[in-house]
Structure 1
Amino acid sequence: MAARTFDAFTTPKAGVIWGLTVPQLLFLSVATFPAWMAISSQRWLAGVLWVPVWLLLLFLTVVPLGGRPAVGWLAAATAFAIAGLNGWLTFRSKAATGTLRDLDELDMPGALTGVEVLDGPPVGLTQRRVAVIKHGAVRTWAITARIEHDGIAMATDALCSRYADGLTELLDTAARGELISEIHLMVRATPDDCTERELWLRANITPDAPVTSVATQIEHLRWSQAGVRTEAFITLVIPDNRLSKEARHMGGATDGRMNTLLSLAAEIGAVVTGPMGAREVTWLTSPELAQTVRLGFAPGDRAGLVAAAHDASADASVNASVPWALAGPSQAYAAVRHYAHDAWATVTATVKLPERGATMGGWGHVLAPSEAVERRSVAVVFPIEKQSAADRKAAQQEFGQSLGQGLKDRLGVRTGAKDHRRQAKLDRVEVQLAMGATLSHPYALCSTTVPATAPVAEFGRRLDAAIRRGGMAPQRLDMSQDLAFVTATLPLGVSLTTRHQ
């Protein structure tokens, strides 16, 4: 099983002493001052009475409840309540309110507000204009490609090991250029609606065909609907402050940024089609990206879009594209435990990757829809550190681990197996960094999208169960379902972290 495991990542944050961060240590240290002042003035009763108060502060600050300390829950609940009172949790599109004026202007809710999609320069023999995504709020640029891959369902251990090494090489290649800050890998699995097959039957079955032949084709169509259609995407995210420096040598201003993005796309695409084993990498144009976003919000629209594309091949007057102004939902609402968009609802959970490494193919349980009306999606975000920042963070983690271990030795506390494994991993990370490898601390999100009339809570429970069957632990992203939905299902370069270096 070791050959099928990818473990070239570390935890993003490590506590200095016994898992406590520096702010937590400072807060708890300051909280002891009243007790010390009472003891210094020989007010013993006041000092003893402060101990339960300090223990309560310790519980509220340190003990996680559902993934967050109590203080974090209080801050999140307060912000969520304020957003609800101000109407920020509800979205209605311009088309729904009758104020739509420009079909090319994006009209998106929540974290997608202010996003622009620009057409890059024409490249290749087909003169494709690749879509470039500009995030003005966080000052980043992104570019997305569709990946055609055979998967690893029938792959041997040796082939899975090669793919794991290819993923490591992808991260190292992105880090060496010191431009890319994040790589998003996304897979969406939707029950097959058999639209293409139905169109083929309509075009090829003649009225005088034998009845048995027609019945056989209809029976095949009914059974083929048990299949699942998957689509995979890769998104590169580059901060503007890094891109602007490189753009000076590639044409300057917006043209230089786009030329730089296209060169990065060619470099990363070669790794994806090489060591990672993809058959084809297609960087999406603006119409293709708009259709991908629309299907992210409304999976049931695929049949109509495929039929429109089929009709457009015979009749040029048929409009088979999706305008950006209509690519988003007409209305959306962020509830505490799910996100409602048009006639659909999505539940998203984050996944803590195991320290022993993620098993290649372990996402198969998560991606398999439990019913024909369900769409599953998995997105893994790889934040990539610069070499200097990676060395500094590795040194900080090593210092914190050594300091905590030294205190345990002085106090006679036994060192557990987890501590030994963590120390061994930190030592291996330092060796890899010295050899030019990169430092990454990825996180994953899984979502399930069902019709709004379906029991959303039940499908969320099934998603959690599927994650556990894959050997991982789910954590529902309560009060952040809108941002989680965008990160998990839309390949636009939006992540849970909004600060980029």
Structure 2
Amino acid sequence: MTVYGTSAARDRQGWFLGLTGPQLLLVLTAAFPVWLSMAVGRWLALVVLVPAWVLAAGLVCVPVRGWSAAQWIGVLCRHVIGHAAGWTSWQSKAAAGRIDDPGEADLPGVLAGVVIHDGPPWAGRPGRPAIVQNLAGRTWAATARIVHPGIGMADEEERDRMGAGLAELFEAASGGTELHLLALQVRTVPDDGTARAQWTRDHRRDDEPELSRRIHARVDAAMQGAAVRTEAFVTVVVHEDAVGRSARRAGRGVQGRARILYTTLAEVEARLLGAIGCTGVTWLNSADLAVAIRTGFEPGDAPALADADLQSVRDGVVAAGVPVAAAGPATADTTMRAYAHGDWRSVSTTILLPRRGARMGALARALVPTRVGERRSLTVFYTPISPRAADRSTGRAEMSAAMGAEVRRKVGKVERAHERRATQQLRETDEKLERGRSLVRVSSALAITIPAGWDTADYGRRLDASVRLCGFTPLPLDGSHDAAFAAAAIPLGVGLPQRRTR
């Protein structure tokens, strides 16, 4: 069985022995009283100052659930200030009856800067894909609904081919400058049976025997609790810096940027339908994207929207879908441990790649709902890194690893197996980059959405347990569940929050 991720390394390497610049500065500042006491000969004061310095260094450097104690204090302070100022609560214009433009997106939190445009006609394609403009991130994106047969019945050769196809996509993206981010999203929810019931009504025979009718009814009732409906999306994101100059020659404005984006979409679609193995790629227009956003925030509306869509095909009078302005929740509220949106609450976590790597499909167990009414969403973000930036990052990481190994050798510390493995991984990565391979930054977000009346903490623990059963390490995003939910469940290409701005 092929194992992926064995060459994974930390995205941000510390300047000195794994410490970042601010951490190193805080540790040295906390040590200043110790140096001053040694300089003036106050040896008795060292008995108090040295333990205090060790405690301060531990608070700054030792991670607790991914963050140091100093970072946790900062997160708590920002959350308290935001709650007191009313920044954590939000109400839609639709709930207040103030919709001016039905085509204007009205979304909470990090999605407030999103504008959805109708793209220009795509030559040879029906419909007009929706162009998602993120004013805050200065990005342009388009989302497609994809159909993939899955890997459950695929043999080892087919899985290797799919993995190689995905790697080839990122190598092509790293060689160019257009693709900024590729987001693959999977949402699973227990099947409500709407499509099955409609199909049964359309194909039921009037002369069916009564025994056969009862058997089919029992089979449908037994399978409804075990069936899981899955939908997958892929979002292609380009940055304004990469397409702005070319867009001036293609028509300027939204039209010009859309034409440049269409070129990237065609390349991604060709590779998805090729070695990766997708059987269908449909780029969403504004109406379809609004439905995807609505069912992301309000999973309970999915059966009604699906039934309305089926009925609209048979009866043109029945309205289907929702306007873009009403795609978001009526209200939203951010707490430290969860995110409330409408009649639902969500808990989100990131997934740390295991040091020993993972097999393809290892996260399938984390996407299985444990109860009817529960929904799980997973988004994996792939950010291609330019060859120059990859070479610089790898060189800095090798220098930090060599410095750490030299310090451990001089103090007489035995080099552990994981330290030798980390150094070997950096060397392997350097060799691959020299042979022309690409470096890709991988991040992920996983969210569980439940009705507001359920115990959020209990389902958050279930989510973490399912991630650990898959062999991964969960890292709950306490204090930023709103941004994490938007990344995990809403297919608009909004990635995880970044600490450093561009």
TM-score of the alignment, normalized to the shorter chain, above 0.5: yes
Query: What amino acid does structure 2 have at the position aligned with 1:37?
Result: L
**Any idea what SS the aligned residue of 2:440 has?**
coil
**Any idea what SS the aligned residue of 1:384 has?**
strand
User: What is the rounded CA distance, in whole Å, between the counterparts of 1:415 and 1:137 in structure 2?
Assistant: 45
TM-score by length of 1: 0.95
Q: Displacement of 1:355 after TM fit?
A: 2.3
Alignment partner, residue 295 of structure 1: 295
Alignment partner, residue 470 of structure 1: 470
User: What is the rounded CA distance, in whole Å, between the counterparts of 1:281 and 1:500 in structure 2?
Assistant: 33
**Any idea what SS the aligned residue of 1:414 has?**
coil
Percent identity over the alignment?
38
Query: What amino acid does structure 2 have at the position aligned with 1:258?
Result: A
Query: What amino acid does structure 2 have at the position aligned with 1:457?
Result: A
Q: 325-334 vs 35-44, which deviates more?
A: 35-44
User: What is the rounded CA distance, in whole Å, between the counterparts of 2:497 and 2:181 in structure 1?
Assistant: 10
CA change 1:484–1:466 in 2 (3 A) is same
User: What is the rounded CA distance, in whole Å, between the counterparts of 1:29 and 1:46 in structure 2?
Assistant: 18
Contact 2:8 2:425 in 1 (8 A): no
Alignment partner, residue 453 of structure 2: 453
Contact 1:4 1:164 in 2 (8 A): no
User: What is the rounded CA distance, in whole Å, between the counterparts of 1:390 and 1:489 in structure 2?
Assistant: 30
Alignment partner, residue 94 of structure 2: 95
CA change 1:491–1:29 in 2 (3 A) is same
> Deviations for 1:73-99, whole angstroms, at most 9, x for unmatched residues?
011001101111111111111111222
1:382 and 2:408 aligned: no
Contact 1:144 1:491 in 2 (8 A): yes
- Where structure 1 has 5 or more consecutive residues not aligned to the other structure, the ranges are none
1:67 and 2:66 aligned: yes
Q: Displacement of 1:289 after TM fit?
A: 0.8
1:41 and 2:40 aligned: yes
Contact 2:18 2:400 in 1 (8 A): no
1:18 and 2:17 aligned: yes
Contact 1:190 1:229 in 2 (8 A): yes
Alignment partner, residue 53 of structure 1: 52
Query: What amino acid does structure 2 have at the position aligned with 1:29?
Result: L
**Any idea what SS the aligned residue of 1:178 has?**
coil
**Any idea what SS the aligned residue of 1:199 has?**
helix
Q: 360-369 vs 92-101, which deviates more?
A: 92-101
User: What is the rounded CA distance, in whole Å, between the counterparts of 1:249 and 1:16 in structure 2?
Assistant: 43
**Any idea what SS the aligned residue of 1:246 has?**
helix
**Any idea what SS the aligned residue of 1:181 has?**
strand
User: What is the rounded CA distance, in whole Å, between the counterparts of 1:85 and 1:477 in structure 2?
Assistant: 21
Query: What amino acid does structure 1 have at the position aligned with 2:246?
Result: E
User: What is the rounded CA distance, in whole Å, between the counterparts of 1:255 and 1:138 in structure 2?
Assistant: 19
CA change 1:415–1:332 in 2 (3 A) is same
Q: After TM superposition, list the pairs within 5 Å mapping 1:338-487 onto structure 2.
A: 338-487=338-487
Q: 411-420 vs 210-219, which deviates more?
A: 210-219
Q: Displacement of 1:209 after TM fit?
A: 4.7
User: What is the rounded CA distance, in whole Å, between the counterparts of 1:59 and 1:394 in structure 2?
Assistant: 28
User: What is the rounded CA distance, in whole Å, between the counterparts of 2:9 and 2:462 in structure 1?
Assistant: 29
Contact 1:103 1:325 in 2 (8 A): yes
C-alpha root-mean-square deviation of aligned residues, in Å? 1.8
**Any idea what SS the aligned residue of 1:381 has?**
strand
Q: Displacement of 1:146 after TM fit?
A: 1.3
Q: Displacement of 1:405 after TM fit?
A: 1.2
Q: After TM superposition, list the pairs within 5 Å mapping 1:102-113 onto structure 2.
A: 102-113=101-112
Q: 283-292 vs 352-361, which deviates more?
A: 352-361
Alignment partner, residue 196 of structure 1: 195
User: What is the rounded CA distance, in whole Å, between the counterparts of 1:465 and 1:192 in structure 2?
Assistant: 23
1:132 and 2:131 aligned: yes
CA change 1:122–1:111 in 2 (3 A) is same
Q: 344-353 vs 156-165, which deviates more?
A: 156-165
Alignment partner, residue 321 of structure 1: 321
> Deviations for 1:424-463, whole angstroms, at most 9, x for unmatched residues?
1111111222222222231221111111122222221111
Query: What amino acid does structure 2 have at the position aligned with 1:77?
Result: L
> Deviations for 1:290-339, whole angstroms, at most 9, x for unmatched residues?
11111111112121112111221122222102101111100111122111
Q: After TM superposition, list the pairs within 5 Å mapping 1:142-221 onto structure 2.
A: 142-205=141-204, 209-221=208-220
Alignment partner, residue 305 of structure 2: 305
Contact 1:9 1:442 in 2 (8 A): no
User: What is the rounded CA distance, in whole Å, between the counterparts of 2:418 and 2:287 in structure 1?
Assistant: 49
Query: What amino acid does structure 1 have at the position aligned with 2:179?
Result: I
